[in-house]
Chain A
Amino acid sequence: RKEVEQDPGPFNVPEGATVAFNCTYSNSASQSFFWYRQDCRKEPKLLMSVYSSGNEDGRFTAQLNRASQYISLLIRDSKLSDSATYLCVVMNYGGSQGNLIFGKGTKLSVKP
C-alpha cells in the first residue's frame, strides 16, 4: 500500500462549485499533515496545515480523521485561479528526520 494515496482526478468543475479532495495515509504514527498546491511546471507551495480539530482558511477547509487515516480538503466557491494540482502531504517523525511524504496529487480544473 502506498504511503499517501490520492485520487489523481482530474476534477473538472464550473466556477462557483464546491469540490472535495480526499487522501488516505498508511502510517498510523504519522504526526503532521498538509495540503500543498502545485501550479503547472511550478514548485509546490504550502496551502494549509491540517489539524485534528479541522481548520478553515477562507474558502478552504481541511479535515483530519486519525482513526480512518483520512485527510480531506474542501474548496468552496471555486475560482478559475484555483486550477492546480493539490498534493496531500504527511510527515512522520523519526526515521528520515521528519521528512515529508507526498501524494501524487489531485488535479483540479475550474472552468468558466
Chain B
Amino acid sequence: SQTIHQWPATLVQPVGSPLSLECTVEGTSNPNLYWYRQAAGRGLQLLFYSVGIGQISSEVPQNLSASRPQDRQFILSSKKLLLSDSGFYLCAWRTGVYQETQYFGPGTRLLVL
C-alpha cells in the first residue's frame, strides 16, 4: 500500500532563516506530487505541483521554491522565511493527472517568529 511521509511534524523558525521541508511517497512510482499551505482560518492553497523528476510548476508567486530530486521525493524550501509563511504545509500525491483523488501526508506545522 502507498504511504506518504512528511517531516518535520512541527517547526519553529525565526524570520529570515532558511527552510527545508521534505515529503516522500512509498509504494507507488511516478506520482504527481503537490505542496499546499493552509494558513489559520483559510483554505488550502496550492503552492507547487510536479508531474515528474525536475518538473515543478508554481501556482502562487512567493518566496518559496520546490524541487523534486527523485521520483518519490518532493522538497519545499525558502532562503529567507517571512512571518506570513507560517501555516500548515501539506504534501499530497496521486498516481496521475486524471486519477482524481489526492492523498495527503500528515503535514508540517510551521511557525515563523
A interface, CB within 8 angstroms of B: 4, 32, 34, 41-46, 49, 87, 91, 93, 96-100, 102-105
Note all chain B residues with C-beta closer than 8 A to A34. Answer: 100-101
B100 shortest CB reach to chain A, Å? 5
The answer for the CA separation of A98 and B104 in the assembled complex, in Å, is 16
Given contacts A96-B59, A97-B57, are A104 and B90 in contact (CB under 8 A)?
Answer: no
Complex contact B105–A43 (CB within 8 A): yes
Given contacts A42-B106, A93-B98, are A99 and B43 in contact (CB under 8 A)?
Answer: no
The answer for the CA separation of A96 and B44 in the assembled complex, in Å, is 15
Interface string of B70-104 (1 = CB under 8 A from A): 00000000000000000010100000011011111
Given contacts A99-B46, A103-B43, A104-B43, are A46 and B101 in contact (CB under 8 A)?
Answer: yes
Interface string of B25-63 (1 = CB under 8 A from A): 000000010100000011110100101000001010000
Complex contact A102–B49 (CB within 8 A): no
Complex contact B100–A91 (CB within 8 A): yes
Interface residues in B, total, Cβ within 8 A: 24
The answer for the CA separation of A104 and B65 in the assembled complex, in Å, is 24
Note all chain A residues with C-beta closer than 8 A to B105. Answer: 43
Name A43's contact: one of B46, B98, B107 (CB within 8 Å). Answer: B107
The answer for the CA separation of A104 and B49 in the assembled complex, in Å, is 20
Note all chain B residues with C-beta closer than 8 A to A87. Answer: 43-44
The answer for the CA separation of A94 and B49 in the assembled complex, in Å, is 14
What is the chain B residue whose CB lies nearest that of A101? B46
Complex contact B57–A96 (CB within 8 A): yes
The answer for the CA separation of A42 and B46 in the assembled complex, in Å, is 17
Complex contact A97–B43 (CB within 8 A): no
Complex contact A49–B43 (CB within 8 A): no
Complex contact A96–B46 (CB within 8 A): yes
Note all chain A residues with C-beta closer than 8 A to B42. Answer: 104
Complex contact B34–A43 (CB within 8 A): no
What is the chain A residue whose CB lies nearest that of B43? A104
What is the chain A residue whose CB lies nearest that of B32? A97
